[in-house]
Chains A and B, each alone.
Chain A
């Protein structure tokens, strides 16, 4: 990891406007113009409030991962001093990192929220889903997700998807209409004009709302730093027993056991995404604090999915295919 870049070099969030620095040739510029983070925050809060105002039963997808934590933080700001006025929904693959589940439960408790859980394991136990040959459970989340949406009659579901994550996500609207089968039709999206969001839908359809669509991974980390947002510990460098598979470091755990030829070593690692243990890899890193992570992410030469997600390597359009079927 490069350590040449310091936080000071980045100096992205600090807004030191010094009127004397600005030549009189540009009187048209506001001295108090918002930084990019403030603009993104305002936009996200506007979207969250629109959805709450226009839909009957919204819910927020909450996995304990950094994007969903940031989304929930934005929701608390949007309705302060009132409570967040919707439940959170987690699709549990049964292969989660225990510390993430623990974090999820503490957060829900702290904010006084209702938690709805859709369980992949239950669907497998009932024979309604089959375990995949590669053991990955991420793609299996779609069915329990749609089931939870239907059962609870959610008409809008907030997701923490960002357009910089993947080329199919890059194409999605902020309010994205899903049909009765939860499917996304990328060739037939509604125009989305100005900041006027059209959430009209018929019975059975629902809408996915992505308030942090326009944030990058670096924006998310800078915001976590600025706001002092707590995250599960595995986002920061820690020692862990890992083995190498498909060019990624996998944690040794109940659901991800090394094969005989895969050597187990102890390394200083952290996670850039937290998902299903069976397909999420760690990166070697010594970034122990949020400030370290901001520096590391700014200097990274790989995208977070490229670095850590086996499920996206399945095919060229893995994400698009999953999204068409109703995935997050």
Chain B
């Protein structure tokens, strides 16, 4: 916690971006909490509030909301689809935006219903932190365990557990402590967060008693939970470091090439009008992409990985961004890179810091979060989208799946909707695969149905068995 407090004290003025999502079982108050956060941080404008108040009244919402004179169903601020309002549930992720003095937030309110787990995975995949709600009256449920294992699978950096509806258990400390202990136990079983030798607890895991409906410990600390001395939810969200804010100089540069910029004659007329030296740009050739991790500097030695070709090493001679030449660039910047040697580079190739990548491989060992009602069967042909490349793949075998009750990997030969499991795939062309544990971008891929194009699974690259595999990796 010391890290967070000191960050808070610095009062950084520039606004950086922080992405977070909600998770938890159905009806435990995720959307209400999000509505509360938006409302209390003054991110709701008058016309939105009016509209929601009208709908609440029309639908006879009788919640004892402390929002003001009228009771407002705060969940309506994010449950924007007709079907969601009719059923009073969240079906798909709603993205909302708000800012405090410190930060701009992108908030993904996810559904709790098991049927829509794929949408929760969507919301969590880009999140710097996830707020997992638990209904204080119900404690840890199967869906809570499922979501927590998804978060562990995706290695979401910070997990905040909000024990909600604390008003309905009379702000009872003992109820809270019991759930807190359960959460810690589940986290330990999953390997979520790091053990903190100072406190004996788990770092990167916060457990907060809240009432989404009434606002206790959401934006401000509540005096109805005097036994809780920790921060309110928003305080935590304001101070956690986002993934992109963390020191990335230790990471190696990775750059999947999106496309080659080679205008030949077709220079941008506005650039020419602004004085671009047409002669100098006649043979311009640069590789456009977004840096997925690390930093690149002029003069750096880089290796180019293309399928079917030997890795080639060359030097960075230019980092361009829309007319400015940069001396260095860092993730997640989108830039265009020029190289010293004329080598054949195309979309799907990867440029990486020299000497930091291992050989591309056509054998893919993976953990999968299966998101489709169509089950995964051994022998199936699928597509794998990794970075800027899509290749065909054969499912050689399914090597196990996670049992939510025990968090143990059980033998399995297929994966069904919402299963988390391990599989081995054979790719039609080798890819520069890297372990997801250390490379959140180059270790991630999609499994796509070649027939209808739908996304079947979120995939995470594991080490080859034998390469000192992390036993716990499945989750």
Contact = CB atoms under 8 A, between A and B. Distances in A.
Given A167-B94, A213-B95, A316-B51, A29 B241 contact: yes
A82 B262 contact: yes
Interface string B247-286: 1110000000011011100111111010010000100100
B452 A193 contact: no
B88 interface: no
Given A33-B245, A53-B347, A214-B106, A302 B80 contact: no
A23 B6 contact: yes
A177 B443 CA distance: 26
B360 interface: no
A12 B96 CA distance: 19
Contacts of A82: 261-263, 266-268
A306 B51 CA distance: 10
B45 A81 contact: no
B259 A49 contact: yes
Interface in A1-39: 11-17, 21-23, 25-30, 32-36, 38-39
A46 B91 CA distance: 28
B270 A194 contact: no
Q: At the interface, is chain B mostly helix, strand, loop or mixed? A: mixed
A192 interface: yes
A164 B97 contact: yes
A191 B271 CA distance: 38
B218 interface: no
B48 interface: yes
Contacts of B122: 191-193
Interface stretch (A127-135, A146-154, A197-205, A287-295): A197-205
B82 interface: yes
A78 interface: yes
Instruction: Select the residue from B51, B288, B334 with max chain A CB neighbours within 10 A.
Output: B334
A39 B17 contact: yes
Given A36-B15, A81-B284, A302 B94 contact: no
B332 interface: yes
Contacts of A216: 97
Nearest to B19: A214
Contacts of B246: 28-30
A196 interface: yes
Interface string A154-194: 00000000011011101100000000000000110111111
Contacts of A29: 7, 241, 245-247
Interface string A60-97: 00000000000000001111111110000000000000
10 contacts: A16-B13, A36-B104, A52-B259, A110-B269, A171-B93, A171-B94, A190-B455, A196-B445, A214-B106, A306-B47
Given A28-B246, A78-B334, A196-B385, 10 more contacts: A26-B7, A32-B330, A36-B16, A39-B16, A43-B334, A46-B334, A79-B263, A186-B81, A194-B440, A196-B386
